[in-house]
Amino acid sequence: MERPLLNAYVNVCFKLPNDEQAQLSDQSAVIITAWNPHSLRLPDAENAKRNQLLQKELETRFFCKLLVGNEKDNWFEESYWVFLSLKEGLLLAEKYQQNAIYWVKDQQVNLVYCADKQPIYIGELKDFWP
């Protein structure tokens, strides 16, 4: 993955309501979106449709909506914090043509590329909340 795209994946924050943050912090999960397949920017309306399809697939699971992005660049993507195994998360990411997902386990945030499926540690969960 090219350095600018890698930096975009690593230099993010996660935004969700404060009351939910405490509930989620101790549980393993994946953070996934259907926005901008293969990092190709789509119109917001198209991204919203894609995310609605993803949400339908998540309805049998506990999930929480959140924003993932960069405040400095004023860029965020609507995403989902969902209690799935890493394997299940990667299958959904491939289906929705995503380059990568975040995997949170034991308060550790990992970036996982769909191509090689290898987690890359990028930091402590507490550091990703604004």
> Among the listed ranges 5-14, 42-51, 63-72, which one has the minimum average pLDDT value?
5-14
Q: Is the pLDDT assigned to residue 117 strictly greater than 80?
A: yes
Do residues 113 and 1 touch, judged by C-beta distance below 8 A?
A: yes
pLDDT at 35: 97
pLDDT at 18: 61
Q: What is the count of structural domains for the chain?
A: 1
Average pLDDT of the chain to the nearest whole number: 89
pLDDT at 6: 72
Q: Is the pLDDT assigned to residue 3 strictly greater than 90?
A: no
Domain range spanning residue 29? Answer: 3-128
pLDDT at 59: 93
pLDDT in tens, 17-42: 665 655 665 678 999 999 999 989 99
Whether this model's pTM surpasses 0.85 = yes
pLDDT in tens, 86-113: 999 999 999 999 999 999 999 899 999 9
What does the H/E/C string look like for 83-130? Answer: CCCHHHHHHHHHHCCCCEEEEEECCEEEEEECCCCCEEEEEEHHHHCC
